[in-house]
């Protein structure tokens, strides 16, 4: 085989999208098609049942096959190029030559060793970087530099102002925060939750107390949350001890939630394994039957609010050349201290 590329198969446009059931069933068909092609390297690779990378479009609809590797002296890579949606596959699975799927509407081409290859993802990640802050011709930034005097009235006024700025800037879900906990073995765990209250007492969120985070916070009652607002190059981290809020606070928030969210809280045994999505959907339907529209949905007994009482609050503001602004305020002995940290 010579030249930059040679067409192996050109099939017709699909009359219907590929489904999960039909996709697996079709795997053997393409193997037979490739095996019949008079190309020794291809046939040799298939006969060895070489592992081939198969790209599968999320949802098993649209484009199925993305690329295959055929390790042979004459071919660096054989790529299956879509003539359909051109969607980038989101998962990879190892399959053998006998399992490669035929999908109508996909063209197969063998690419020579000197063809341009995809860049490794890790190299792309290493090269990813953005400039922080908007500087004018005079080198000044649009927003004032974060400084210690901005916390003269404590951490709460500045945090509220930054949250309002994030809302005005159109940051998606500006109240989203990354919650960090540790389990009984000291292993860290993080997940994104939504802040549902901000006051001088601290940062409030709600959860099922029997969830992973609920049990971890009961075992080690200390947490950290980080608000990250990338579009405005700002971040706030709050650390401190946690406590459950009163039943009155939980009840007030619970009844402000949409009906579907309250039913979902009853349907889900949060963080517990479940056999299928269908079983989860059935649990939601059962909750709806248990609590009809004309019936008040009570607070689930193991569900409620958790308050993080700030012991340390750090404000971060992005700046060029990694010379970011970091101001930390911490409480000790009933008083707060403010200090600048090196970036």
The beta strands (E) that lie in the chain are given as 5-10, 52-56, 67-68, 77-82, 91-95, 106-111, 176-182, 188-194, 197-199, 202-208, 222-229, 234-244, 303-308, 312-317, 325-332, 335-341
Was 109 annotated as part of a binding site?
Answer: no
48 closest CA partner among 29, 33, 37, 35: 35
Q: Are strands 91-95 and 77-82 parallel, antiparallel or unpaired?
A: unpaired
Was 253 annotated as part of a binding site?
Answer: yes
Q: 138 lies in a domain?
A: no
How many of the other CB atoms lie within 10 Å of CB of 192? 12
Q: Which two tokens stand for residue 56?
A: 């599968």
Q: 132 lies in a domain?
A: no
User: Are 166 and 89 members of one domain?
Assistant: no
Was 271 annotated as part of a binding site?
Answer: yes
Q: 200 lies in a domain?
A: yes
Was 226 annotated as part of a binding site?
Answer: no
DSSP letters spanning 261-274: HHHHHHH--TT---
User: Are 166 and 308 members of one domain?
Assistant: yes
User: Are 178 and 306 members of one domain?
Assistant: yes
User: Are 207 and 321 members of one domain?
Assistant: yes
Express each pLDDT in 325-338 by its tens digit: 999 999 988 899 99
322 labelled catalytic: yes
User: Are 210 and 263 members of one domain?
Assistant: yes
User: Are 195 and 286 members of one domain?
Assistant: yes
How far apart, in Å, are the Cα atoms of 201 and each of 132, 241, 336? 32, 11, 14
- What is the pLDDT, as a whole number, of residue 144? 82
- What is the pLDDT, as a whole number, of residue 211? 98
Q: 263 lies in a domain?
A: yes
Q: Which two tokens stand for residue 217?
A: 């916070």
In angstroms, the CA 144 to CA 271 distance is: 43
Q: 266 lies in a domain?
A: yes
Structural domains in the chain (count): 2
- What is the pLDDT, as a whole number, of residue 228? 98
User: Are 178 and 317 members of one domain?
Assistant: yes
User: Are 109 and 180 members of one domain?
Assistant: no
Q: 180 lies in a domain?
A: yes
In angstroms, the CA 196 to CA 3 distance is: 62
Per-residue pLDDT of the chain (343 residues; tens, 9 = 90+): 433 333 333 333 344 454 545 554 454 455 455 445 455 554 554 444 333 333 333 333 333 333 334 333 333 333 333 334 333 333 333 433 433 443 333 333 344 455 566 666 777 888 888 777 666 665 566 678 899 999 999 999 999 999 999 999 999 999 999 999 999 999 999 999 999 999 999 999 999 999 999 999 999 999 999 999 999 999 999 999 999 999 999 999 999 999 999 999 999 999 999 999 999 999 999 999 999 999 999 999 999 999 999 999 999 999 988 899 999 999 988 899 999 999 9
∠ at Cα 221 (215, 224), nearest 5°?
A: 100
Both ends of the chain: CA-CA distance in Å?
Answer: 56
Active-site pick, 277, 290, 309, 322: 322
User: Are 18 and 159 members of one domain?
Assistant: no
Domain containing 165 — which CATH number? Answer: 2.30.110.10
User: Are 86 and 155 members of one domain?
Assistant: no
Express each pLDDT in 221-232 by its tens digit: 999 999 999 999
238 closest CA partner among 186, 343, 163: 163
**Boundaries of domain holding 177:** 148-341
108 closest CA partner among 85, 88, 84, 78: 78
User: Are 167 and 65 members of one domain?
Assistant: no
Percentage, residues of the chain above pLDDT 90: 56
Q: 96 lies in a domain?
A: yes
User: Are 333 and 259 members of one domain?
Assistant: yes
Q: 143 lies in a domain?
A: no
142 closest CA partner among 122, 118, 119, 165: 165
In angstroms, the CA 275 to CA 269 distance is: 13
């Amino acid at each position: 085989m010579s030249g930059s590329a040679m067409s192996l198969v050109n099939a017709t446009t699909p009359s219907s999208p590929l489904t999960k059931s039909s996709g697996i069933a079709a795997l053997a068909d393409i193997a037979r098609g490739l095996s019949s092609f008079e190309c020794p390297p291809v046939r040799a690779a298939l006969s060895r049942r070489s592992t081939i990378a198969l790209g599968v479009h999320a949802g098993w609809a649209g484009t199925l096959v993305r690329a295959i590797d055929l390790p042979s002296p004459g071919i660096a890579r054989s790529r299956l190029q879509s003539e359909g949606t051109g969607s980038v596959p989101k998962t990879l699975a190892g399959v053998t030559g006998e399992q490669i799927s035929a999908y109508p509407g996909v063209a197969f081409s063998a690419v020579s060793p000197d063809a341009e290859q995809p860049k490794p993802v890790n190299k792309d990640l290493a090269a990813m970087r953005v400039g922080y802050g908007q500087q004018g011709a005079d080198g000044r930034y649009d927003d004032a530099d974060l400084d210690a005097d901005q916390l003269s009235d404590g951490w709460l006024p500045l945090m509220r102002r930054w949250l309002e700025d994030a809302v005005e800037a159109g940051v998606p879900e500006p109240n989203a925060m990354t919650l960090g906990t540790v389990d009984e073995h000291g292993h860290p765990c993080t997940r994104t939750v939504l802040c549902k209250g901000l006051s001088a007492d601290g940062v409030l969120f709600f959860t099922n107390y029997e969830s992973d985070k609920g049990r971890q916070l009961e075992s080690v009652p200390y947490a950290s949350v980080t608000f990250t607002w990338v579009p405005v190059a700002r971040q706030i981290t709050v650390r401190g001890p946690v406590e459950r809020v009163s039943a009155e606070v939980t009840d007030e928030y619970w009844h402000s939630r949409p009906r579907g969210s309250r039913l979902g809280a009853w349907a889900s045994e949060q963080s517990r394994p479940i056999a299928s999505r269908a079983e989860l959907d059935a649990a939601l339907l059962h909750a709806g039957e248990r609590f009809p529209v004309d019936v008040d949905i009570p607070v689930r007994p193991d569900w409620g609010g958790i308050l993080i009482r700030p012991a340390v609050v750090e404000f971060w503001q992005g700046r060029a050349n990694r010379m970011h602004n970091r101001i930390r305020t911490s409480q000790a002995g009933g008083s707060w201290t403010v200090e600048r940290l090196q970036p």
